Amino acid sequence: MNVNEVIRRRRNELGMTQAELAQKAGIDTRQIRRYEAGDTQPALLVAVGIARALGITVEELAGEEVHRVDLSGDWWACWQTWNEGREILNPHQIRMRQQSEIIDVIATTRGTQSFEEGGYLWRGEFRLWDNEVLMGWYVADEGAVRSKGTMYFVLHQHGEKMSGRWVGLSYDGPIISGWGAIARTKEETLAIIHELKEGEPIQ
């Protein structure tokens, strides 16, 4: 696929006008029209800006085919947390929306209903590396909660489930860490956490 076709197709997928793409990429709308018509090719620095605005890599903009697992959709997540030294396993629902290697994550339910027990809505972002690893950050989405930190997950079975750890601020202290799991069902996330706690490999 040529650059002009990639730009046009991706822009339409995102529901962007040529003017919106031009604004996000920091160039004139007439240039976008020329690129999409195939009259000219963007210079490297311009291509980087266009790719960033479209949420793809420069390689993808150049027409290189990328086989990337798609993690968009509704999932269950479970965190191992603590409250005054008492362990809490906190399964809840999340929604992931992927654009290229960047994945926006938002919690759609609380695992527990009270802040004191670790229940709060949060949002975050992952970056997918080599279809194997997710690295990212999270932050509480409710004003009364100060929790924020980082996440590291390893993908298993073609992206069907993920296991990892979180590190961050929590109710019990400034820097703590715990196991984490993401899967399609609540039961599977809990099973992954229990296996991680017992030191068993995730199959």
Please say if the pLDDT value at position 64 is more than 70: yes
Confidence grade of residue 163 (pLDDT, cut at 50, 70, 90): very high
Section 21-38 average pLDDT:
95
Per-residue model confidence (pLDDT) at position 171: 64
CATH class for the region spanning 3-61: mainly alpha
Q: CA 178 to CA 191: how far, in whole Å?
A: 15
Per-residue model confidence (pLDDT) at position 117: 57
Confidence grade of residue 201 (pLDDT, cut at 50, 70, 90): low
Please say if the pLDDT value at position 189 is more than 60: yes
Task: Return residue ranges of the chain for CATH 1.10.260.40.
Answer: 3-61
pLDDT digits (tens, 9 = 90+) for 175-186: 889 999 999 999
Please say if the pLDDT value at position 188 is more than 60: yes
Q: How far apart are the first and last CA of the chain?
A: 38
Please say if the pLDDT value at position 113 is more than 70: no
CATH 2.40.128.260 corresponds to the domain 73-197: no
Q: CA 150 to CA 53: how far, in whole Å?
A: 25
Q: Write the CA distances from 28 to 10, 32, 50, 60, 87, integer angstroms.
A: 18, 7, 12, 22, 55
Task: Return residue ranges of the chain for CATH 2.40.128.120.
Answer: 73-197
Q: CA 195 to CA 201: how far, in whole Å?
A: 7
Residue 178 makes CB contacts below 8 A (sequence gap 6+) with 79, 80, 81, 82, 165, 166
